Amino acid sequence: MAEQILVTGGAGYIGSHVVVALHEAGYTPVIFDNFNNARRDVPVRLAQIMGTAPSVIEGDIRDSACLDQAFQEHEVGGVIHLAAHKAVGESVAKPLAYFDNNVGGFLNLLGAMERAGCKRLVFSSSATVYGEPDETPTPETAPRRAMNPYGRTKIICEEMLQDLCTADPEWAVGVLRYFNPAGAHGSALIGEDPADIPNNLMPYIAKVATGALAKISVFGNDYDTPDGTGVRDYIHVEDLAEGHVLSLAQLRQGNGHLVNLGTGRGYSVLEMIAAYQRATNRQLPYEIVARREGDVPIYCAKTEKARDLLGFEAKRGLDEMCASSWAWMQAQERGND
Ligand code: WQD
C-alpha cells in the first residue's frame, strides 16, 4: 500500500481537495473528520473523483483515544492538519471554542503523533497571522500580529511547532500560510459548501449568482486601494492542494519550511464581482456598505519562498476560480447528478 497520510479535516473544503491531490500523487489519504463542517457525502464524491473510496475515520481531534486508534489502525507516514475553526468574526464571539479546538485539539494531535512515532506534519496556517502587515506583498519574515482570537490560535500553533522542532529535531514540519482559497475542483463534485450564510466573499458572490442571496454587501470602498475596496490574494483551491503535496515531498527529505501559499496577485472586491459576472454572464447586484470590523485593506503574498523551497507556483487564475466555483454551484443546483 502507498504511504498513508492522515488528513485531519479531510472532508472539508480544503481537505477534500488535498485528499484528491494526495491520491493523484500516489499516496493513500486517510480522512479524519468530525463532520461538524463537512457534508457526509463528501467521501462518496471523492470516491467518484478518485476511482477508489478513501478510508474515513469519524473523530474529533480533541479525542485522544480516537486519535491513538487511528494511528494503531493505519501505518501513518505523515499528517496534514487542516481541522480547525476558521471564521474570524466567530472567533471574537467564541474565543474559548477556538482555543479549545484549534490549540487544544492540535496539542492532542501532536501528542498522538509522538506516541505513534509519526513526526512528519504539514500544518495549515493563515495569512491572518500577519495582522495588518507593514508591507505587501508580505514576506514570511513579516512580524506575526494577531488581530483576533482565530489569528492568535494560528500564531500559538506555529510557536508550539517551533518549540517542538527545537526540542526534537526528528520532527519535520511544513507550515503553510494560506491566503484566500477560492474556486472548486474541476469535476464540480467538491467545492466550498458553507452551511449557512457565507462569511467569505467568493461563496457569498456565488450564492447571489444563484439567486439564493439577494445582493452582495461590499464592506467599504474607502480603503487605500485602487478602487477603494479590499484587496486579497485569491488562490485556486486546487493550486493550494497541490502545494500540500509539494510540502510533504520536502518533509520526506527532512526539509522543514514555513511558506506563504498565494499567487502574489491581489484582486479587489469589485474585481471579484466583475470576474464572477464574466463567469456567469449575469449582472450581480451589490451595495457599498460600512467596513467590516477587523478587515485590513490589502493581503497579498510574497511567493518566492514557496517557489524556491517547494517548487510551488500557482497555475490557475481568477477566471478559472470563478468558472470552477460557478460549475460547482450549478452542479449542486442539479443535485450533483
Ligand atoms: C475578502 C474581502 C472583505 C465578504 C478570511 C479569514 C482568513 C482566511 C480567509 C482562514 C475582504 C470583502 C467579504 C462580503 C465583502 N480564512 N467582503 N463582502 O477576510 O480576507 O479572510 O478568509 O484562514 O483567516 O479572515 O476573506 O472572503 O471574508 O473577505 O466585501 O460579503 O472581501 O472586506 O476585503 P478574508 P473574506
| Residue of the CA atom closest to atom 7 of ligand 1 | 128
Q: Is the pTM of this model over 0.85?
A: yes
Pocket of ligand 1 (CB under 6 A): 86, 88, 126, 128, 178, 180, 199-201, 204, 217-219, 230, 232, 269, 292, 295, 299
Question: What's residue 2's pLDDT?
Answer: 87
Question: What's residue 337's pLDDT?
Answer: 47
249 CA from centroid of ligand 1 (Å): 30
Place 293 in a pLDDT band, splitting at 50, 70 and 90. Answer: confident
**Is the pLDDT reported for residue 175 higher than 70?**
yes
**Is the pLDDT reported for residue 210 higher than 60?**
yes
- Picking from 17, 33, 148, the residue whose alpha carbon sits closest to that of residue 84 is 33
Question: What's residue 15's pLDDT?
Answer: 98
Ligand 1, pocket-test mutation among 232, 268, 276, 325, most atoms within 8 A of CB: 232
150 carries an active-site annotation: yes
Place 228 in a pLDDT band, splitting at 50, 70 and 90. Answer: very high
Mean pLDDT of 184-194: 95
3 CA from centroid of ligand 1 (Å): 36
| Residue of the CA atom closest to atom 32 of ligand 1 | 201
Q: What is the pLDDT of residues 139-153, one digit of tens each?
A: 999 999 988 999 999
Q: What is the pLDDT of residues 22-59, one digit of tens each?
A: 999 999 999 999 999 999 999 999 999 999 999 999 99
Domains, the chain, with CATH or none: 4-181+236-262 (3.40.50.720)
Question: What's residue 25's pLDDT?
Answer: 98
Mean pLDDT of 273-301: 96
| Residue of the CA atom closest to atom 9 of ligand 1 | 180
CA–CA gap between residue 71 and residue 120 (Å, rounded): 13
Question: Are residues 251 and 78 in contact, defined by beta-carbon separation less than 8 angstroms?
Answer: yes
86 CA from centroid of ligand 1 (Å): 11
Query: What is the DSSP-derived secondary structure letter of residue 129?
Result: G
| Residue of the CA atom closest to atom 5 of ligand 1 | 200
Mean pLDDT of 195-222: 95
Grid cell of 168 as nine digits: 526534537
For the CA of 297, the nearest atom of ligand 1: 34
Place 63 in a pLDDT band, splitting at 50, 70 and 90. Answer: very high
Question: What's residue 336's pLDDT?
Answer: 56
Tell me which of 13, 27, 98, 150 is the catalytic residue.
Answer: 150
CA–CA gap between residue 85 and residue 99 (Å, rounded): 9
Question: Are residues 280 and 324 in contact, defined by beta-carbon separation less than 8 angstroms?
Answer: no
For the CA of 294, the nearest atom of ligand 1: 19
